[in-house]
Amino acid sequence: MNGLMVVNSSLRHWLALWHTPGIGAKRFFQLQQVFPQLEELFTLPATALSKLDLPAQSVAAIRTPAWHAVDRHIEWAELPGHSIITSAYPLLLKQTVGPPALLFVQGDPLYINLPQLAIVGSRNPSPRGIETAYHFAQQLAQSGLVITSGLALGIDAVSYQAALSVKRPTVAVLGCGLDRIYPRSHRKMAEQIIAQGALVSEHALGTPPLAQNFPQRNRIVSGLSLGVLVVEATVRSGSLITARLAAEQNREVFAIPGSDSYSVLLLKRHYLLTSWLNALAYPLPLLLRIYVY
- Rounded Cα gap, residues 215 and 220, in angstroms: 9
- Residue 251 pLDDT greater than 60, yes or no: yes
Q: pLDDT for 24-46, tens place per residue? A: 989 999 999 999 999 999 999 98
The domain limits of the chain are: 8-80, 109-292
Q: What percent of the chain has pLDDT over 90?
A: 64
Reported as a single tens digit per residue, the pLDDT across 159-204 is: 999 999 999 999 999 999 999 999 999 999 999 999 999 999 999 9
Cα(290)–Cα(74) distance, rounded to whole angstroms?
37
Q: How confident is the model over 129-147, as pLDDT tens digits?
A: 898 899 999 999 999 999 9
Separation of alpha carbons 45 and 181, rounded Å: 41
pLDDT at 276: 43
The pTM score is 0.88
Residue 232 DSSP label: S
CATH of span 109-292: 3.40.50.450
Rounded to 5°, the CA angle 188-116-255 comes to 95
User: 115: which residues sit within 8 A by CB, 6+ positions away?
Assistant: 144, 145, 146, 226, 290
pLDDT at res. 289 = 65
Q: How far apart are the first and last CA of the chain?
A: 37
132 to 162, 210, 231, 279, 293: CA distances (angstroms): 11, 30, 8, 6, 24
Q: Pick the residue with more confidence: 254 or 13?
A: 13
b/e map 103-132, b = 16+ CB within 10 Å: bbbbbbbebbbbebbbbbbbbebeeebbeb
Residues making up the chain, counted from first to last: 293
Confidence of residue 275 (pLDDT cuts 50, 70, 90): very low
Give yes or no for residue 236 having a pLDDT over 70.
no
